[in-house]
Amino acid sequence: MTIEEKSTAYHARGCNCCQSVLCTLGEYTALPEATAIALGCGFGGGMLSGNVCGAVTGAMMALGAACTAGADPAAEKPKGTRLCKELQKRFQAQFGSMLCAEILQANGHAICDRCIAFAAGAAEELIRENK
């Protein structure tokens, strides 16, 4: 199963966009599935308010967990920031926005699986390149 298929399978199980991406990338973050689900519960639907897409926030959490050690925030901040900005750039280029409400208004809920799969795949690529 590809990373994209795995991420949409989580969504089909009832996970929100953030949870789907964060759970999918668990092999890189070492977060237990239950922890990823708990952490991501308030980030679906653009933080429950149409703001930044949950797939993006889940991917950004995974990038931080997988690519920084968390031991020295000041030293690790530039790397984490660079990776997250690159993810945002790719997502924005693909979907025209990072805002859940704008993406849904233009495409309807059918787009969610594409957003989830894209964010998970892009994050995995960045993790593999920067681990």
> Do 124 and 89 meet the contact criterion of CB atoms below 8 Å apart?
no
What is the model's pLDDT at position 131? 82
115-to-58, 75, 76, 92 alpha-carbon distances in Å: 11, 31, 27, 10
Handedness of CA 97, 81, 126, 53 (dihedral sign): negative
Angle 77-121-112 from CA coordinates, rounded to 5°: 105
Which pair of structure tokens corresponds to residue 78? 């530039």
Which pair of structure tokens corresponds to residue 66? 């997988």
Query: What is the percent of the chain with per-residue pLDDT over 70, rounded to a whole number?
Result: 100
Domain boundaries, position 116: 3-130
What is the model's pLDDT at position 14? 98
Please write the tens of the pLDDT for every residue from 28-43.
999 999 999 999 999 9
Q: What is the number of structural domains in the chain?
A: 1
Helix (H) or strand (E) holding 45: helix 44-45
Please write the tens of the pLDDT for every residue from 116-126.
999 999 999 99
Query: Can you tell me the distance from the alpha carbon of 79 to that of 37, in angstroms, rounded to the nearest whole number?
Result: 25
What is the model's pLDDT at position 52? 99
